[in-house]
Amino acid sequence: MHKFANPARFMRLSNMFLPWIAGITVLLFALGLYYALVVAPEDYQMGSTYRIMFVHVPAAYMAQFGYGAIAVASAVGFIWKHPLADQAARAIGPVGAAFTALALITGSLWGKPMWGTYWIWDARLTSMLILFFVYLGYIAVWQTIDDHARAAKIAAIVAMVGLVNVIIIKFSVDWWNTLHQPASLMRMDGPTIGGDMLAALLLMIAAFNMFFFTIIIWRIQSLILRRRIRSLRIQLGGGRG
């Protein structure tokens, strides 16, 4: 495992895989959008408006996937002191926050025409908003604490505390009565959506996921480069910056 934690090795491997991952992302988006906007039929109740789900569900999924990834990476960084794991967790922070914001925006654009309101303080919407603030707090820890080791430790603690909220998001629609409907995809008795609608949704989720990996790789590379820049500046005689 330590072999992969070597930043130089990561740079080499990630540069090798990057064109493939980026290529698959483009392909999935093309196919996904074609399915979402052309192939998938209109819903029997919501007409075409339900197509908002093809961006809303992937965004909400990535918001939670990103947080799960931060939690795993932070735990690995905290317990085994992998330098790369901390960098990965740090890199995901702003991306996860952006997807959370997107899920909230597209959700409210869907809520207005269908429910009759942009926003309601039900358990699902509120816990999703809390996730956004947890992300902001997580980003703030890395921004404000200069010492890398200390920042990594505190960020890992924040990540663990926030993990409880992600579990609440998932089960909020089952534990309490909410305006938001229960899950259609990740449920014990199989999805309540089928055919081309399901295909479109899965393609878009896959596209968002590969997009996420593409930009996370760039962001981790950036963080590794910046550590090297910092040490070179010190070598050059205490240069500031």
Partner 1 sequence: MMEGNDVFLLFSYIASAVVLIALFVTSLWTKKKDEATLRKLEAQIRDLTDKQGKK
Partner 2 sequence: MRKKRRLYLMLTSIAVLGLAVLLVLSALEDSIRLFYDPTEIVEKGIKPGQDFRLGGLVATDSLERHEIKGAMVNKFTVTDGNETVDVTYEGLLPDLFREGQGVVAEGSMNSAGVFVATEVLAKHDENYMPKEVIDSLKKRGEWQRDKSAKTKAGAS
| Binding site residues, partner 2, CB under 8 A | 41-46, 50, 53, 75, 78-80, 113-117, 120-123, 160-161, 163-164, 167-168, 175-179, 181-184, 187, 192-197
24 binds, among partner 1, partner 2, none (CB under 5 to 8 A by kind): none
Place of tokens 């997009």: 211
Contact 62, 101 (CB under 8 A): no
Interface pick for partner 1 out of 24, 39, 101, 154 (rule CB under 8 A): 101
| Residue type (1 letter), 197 | M
By the rule CB under 8 A, 215 interacts with partner 1: yes
The 10 Å Cβ neighbour count of residue 31 is: 17
Nearer to partner 2 among residue 160 and residue 223 (C-beta)? 160
- Smallest separation, CB 188 to partner 2 (Å): 13
Interface pick for partner 1 out of 98, 145, 151, 185 (rule CB under 8 A): 98
Q: For residue 204, which of 60, 18, 9, 5 has the smallest C-alpha distance?
A: 60
Name the burial class of residue 11, with classes exposed (0-12), middle (13-18) and buried (19+) by CB atoms within 10 angstroms of its CB: middle
Place of tokens 């590969």: 210
- Smallest separation, CB 147 to partner 1 (Å): 21
Alpha-carbon torsion, ordered 53, 54, 60, 63, to 10 deg:
-170
Contact 119, 130 (CB under 8 A): no
- Smallest separation, CB 188 to partner 1 (Å): 29
- Smallest separation, CB 47 to partner 2 (Å): 8
Contact 58, 204 (CB under 8 A): yes
219 binds, among partner 1, partner 2, none (CB under 5 to 8 A by kind): partner 1
By the rule CB under 8 A, 47 interacts with partner 1: yes
What is the residue-wise DSSP string for 161-202?
HHHHHHHHHHHHHHHS--SSPPPSSS-TT--S--HHHHHHHH
Interface pick for partner 1 out of 40, 73, 95, 205 (rule CB under 8 A): 95
Q: Measured between alpha carbons, how far is 59 from 50 in angstroms, rounded to an integer?
A: 15
39 binds, among partner 1, partner 2, none (CB under 5 to 8 A by kind): none
Of 50-58, 81-89, 135-143, 163-171: span binding partner 1 (CB under 8 A): 50-58
Site residues for partner 1 per CB under 8 A: 42, 46-49, 51-52, 55-56, 59, 95, 98-99, 101-102, 105-106, 109-110, 112-113, 211, 214-215, 218-219, 221-222, 225-226, 228-229, 232-233, 235-236
